[in-house]
């Protein structure tokens, strides 16, 4: 697929400086034989340049992330696709990570043309 995904944070200043990748996420990736090298080497704050360089912008939790996007990047709110995947402590990792995986798999289907809704992402199916 001609797509590349990257992750950015909206409030990385709220996370302890030595914290990078959740051990739950690391275990989830390892169980699926996905190498951790595919994750970012460090936490990175979302910027306007990141948004401008993106064709698809996804935020995991509508109720949590929409107000942050609206506050930090108000001109971009309508371009963001808000999923409804909760995070700890609201949702346990054993529930949250599979929910993210399901959303990602659906997105891959759309982007690859398996699902006709792919056209909404700006590329023909």
Its sign, for the CA torsion 52, 120, 115, 81, is positive
pTM for the full model? 0.74
Q: How much is the pLDDT for 74?
A: 96
Q: How much is the pLDDT for 111?
A: 84
Helix (H) or strand (E) segment spanning residue 27: helix 23-31
User: String of b and e for 67-78 (b: at least 16 CB within 10 Å)?
Assistant: eebeeebeebbe
Gap between the Cα atoms of 47 and 9, Å rounded = 9
Q: How much is the pLDDT for 118?
A: 45
Give me the residue label for tokens 């398996």.
114
CATH class of 20-118: alpha beta
Its sign, for the CA torsion 63, 66, 14, 102, is positive
Helix (H) or strand (E) segment spanning residue 29: helix 23-31
CB 64 within 8 A of CB 87: yes
Q: How much is the pLDDT for 98?
A: 82
Q: How much is the pLDDT for 81?
A: 92
List, run by run, the mean pLDDT of 10-residue segments along the chain (125 residues): 79 76 78 72 86 91 92 95 78 78 86 62 40
The residues spanned by each domain of the chain are: 20-118
Gap between the Cα atoms of 2 and 21, Å rounded = 26
Strand ranges in the chain using DSSP code E only, listed in sequence order: 57-59, 80-82
């Amino acid at each position: 697929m001609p797509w590349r995904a990257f992750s950015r944070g909206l409030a990385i200043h709220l996370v302890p400086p030595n914290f990078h990748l959740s051990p739950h996420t690391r275990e989830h990736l390892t169980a699926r034989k996905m190498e951790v090298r595919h994750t970012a080497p460090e936490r990175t704050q979302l910027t306007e340049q990141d948004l401008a360089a993106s064709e698809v912008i996804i935020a995991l939790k509508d109720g949590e992330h929409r107000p942050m996007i609206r506050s930090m990047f108000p001109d971009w709110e309508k371009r963001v696709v808000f999923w409804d995947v909760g995070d700890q402590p609201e949702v346990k990792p054993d529930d949250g990570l599979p929910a993210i995986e399901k959303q990602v798999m659906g997105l891959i289907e759309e982007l690859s043309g398996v699902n006709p809704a792919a056209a909404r992402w700006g590329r023909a199916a």
